[in-house]
Amino acid sequence: MTDVMIYVQHLLGIGHVRRIALINAELKRLGISTTVVSGGIPDATLDFGSDDVIQLPPCRSADSGFSGLIDQNGNAVDDAWKNNRKQALLTAFEKTAPKLLLIEMFPFGRRAFRFELLPLLERAGQAGVVRICSVRDLLVRKSDRSKEAWMRDVARSHFDGVLVHGDPALFGFGQSFPYADDIADMIEYTGYVAPKTGVTIGDRNGVLVSAGGGAVGAALIETAMAARHLSKRYADHRWDIVAGPHFPADAFSRLGENLPGGVTLHRFLPDFRDRMAQCCVSVSQAGYNTLMDVLATRTASVMVPFADGGESEQSERAAILASKGVLSLLNPDDLTPQSLINQIDQAKNPAKLDISLDGAGITAAKIAERIRGKV
């Protein structure tokens, strides 16, 4: 038996895992026990920070265009696989017996998993368990408005509250969700889930290039490596290239064979945030968590948003923050060694934003209130 059961499914990146880990750390600080039920491909470098982790039969996106789901062996999932996983999820719920169920993204994302999540939410409702959605500030925009109406209806019928990890001082949930007003009474803003600034920001040196989990982003890393010698400011600095745990193994080996002097290629950096606090410029995609790292460490950054498969979230958030002087933005269609190094050489430290970055602590406090019956 645990206080909170958290469902999370990562498909390409690991941003969802990092957010959950920060929230779990704050829940633990409040004495609240958590069990994470994960549906993504397991990896030794991924730490959810929970008391227990239950691994479902894992799957991931077939490609960067989110064309379908495949299991860990690369096979397309079928109805038998889905039924097996649904039963495993319901068994995990019965075993965990939580006081509160926290679902990450759904119904505002992860629609492909409704085969298991709708039965789980119904079972939790029958058991009197509080059901909360944990969702980032911006959604991927849908061309089919009926899908957005479905999100609203499921939120209203299957959840008791929606925690939005953003700050309305920057923009509200309605920025990307047209039916936000219809569930306004369910929405609570937590502020952004950012790391606490427990890093020492000292004399800066070098460039840090990263691609999140690494399942996508090879073009950015290869372009950055080709751009280094063109720099008028940083050609003689140390460059750390972080490919990510899911960067293709063949590409990682190929890059490692021809590294120029002053460049270090990493699969993963456990002290990534500390490295960011010490570098002159961070070069990355525009994922939620990397943006939070930039804000927390006040590091100059160049961001090339991930925009495959109709993904709009990174581009939209990055454009808003670029307009406020927080980052330098480069359209992925314009990515070349010369265009990238121009941005790197001109990058400036981010302008200060008056927004909440204590989303993990506020989320934990709101969950604690729900568990203790104060709401």
Q: Where in the chain is the domain with CATH 3.40.50.2000?
A: 4-192+357-371, 207-346
User: What 3-state class would DSSP assign to 237?
Assistant: coil
pLDDT at 14 over 90: no
pLDDT classification of 278: cutoffs 50, 70, 90: very high
Q: Which two tokens stand for residue 76?
A: 């397309």
List Cβ neighbours of 334 (8 Å cut-off, separation of 6 or more): none
User: What 3-state class would DSSP assign to 375?
Assistant: coil
15-22: average pLDDT: 88
One-letter identity of residue 329: L
Q: Which of 120-129, 143-152, 169-178, 237-246 has the lowest mean pLDDT?
A: 237-246
End-to-end CA distance of the chain, in Å? 22
List Cβ neighbours of 9 (8 Å cut-off, separation of 6 or more): 16, 38, 39, 40, 104, 105, 110, 113
Which CATH homologous superfamily contains domain 207-346? Glycogen Phosphorylase B; (3.40.50.2000)
- Identify any residues that bridge with 282 across adjacent strands, giving them in sequence order: 208, 301
pLDDT at 51 over 60: yes
Structure confidence at residue 374 (pLDDT): 56
2-18: average pLDDT: 88
191-215: average pLDDT: 80
To the nearest 10°, the Cα dihedral for 342, 263, 219, 303? -50
31-37: average pLDDT: 97
Nearest to 8, CA basis, from 106, 84, 137, 87: 106
148-164: average pLDDT: 98
Structure confidence at residue 16 (pLDDT): 83
Structure confidence at residue 287 (pLDDT): 87
pLDDT classification of 135: cutoffs 50, 70, 90: very high
- How do residues 158-187 score in pLDDT, each as one tens digit? 999 999 999 999 999 999 999 999 999 999
Structure confidence at residue 65 (pLDDT): 62
pLDDT classification of 200: cutoffs 50, 70, 90: low
Handedness of CA 106, 110, 115, 120 (dihedral sign): negative
What is 16-29 written as a DSSP string?
HHHHHHHHHHHHHH
Structure confidence at residue 344 (pLDDT): 98
Structure confidence at residue 199 (pLDDT): 63
249-261: average pLDDT: 85
Nearest to 288, CA basis, from 15, 94, 4, 11: 15
Structure confidence at residue 5 (pLDDT): 98
Structure confidence at residue 223 (pLDDT): 93
What is 167-231 written as a DSSP string?
-TTT--GGGT-TTGGGGGGGEEE---B-----S---S--SEEEE-TTSSS-HHHHHHHHHHGGG-
Pairing assessment for the beta strands 59-61 and 69-71 based on DSSP bridges = antiparallel
CA distance 33 to 242: 33
Range among 159-163, 197-201, 317-321 with highest mean pLDDT value: 159-163
Predicted TM-score (pTM) of the model is 0.89
User: What 3-state class would DSSP assign to 131?
Assistant: strand
Structure confidence at residue 159 (pLDDT): 98
329-340: average pLDDT: 95
Look over the chain and give the mean of its residue pLDDT values, rounded to a whole number: 91
Range among 41-45, 105-109, 140-144, 261-265 with highest mean pLDDT value: 105-109
- How do residues 56-81 score in pLDDT, each as one tens digit? 999 998 876 667 899 989 999 999 99
> In whole angstroms, how far apart are CA 301 and each of 327, 331, 345, 369?
5, 14, 10, 37
Q: What percent of the chain has pLDDT over 70?
A: 95
pLDDT at 290 over 70: yes
- Confirm or reject CATH 3.40.50.2000 for domain 4-192+357-371, answering yes or no: yes
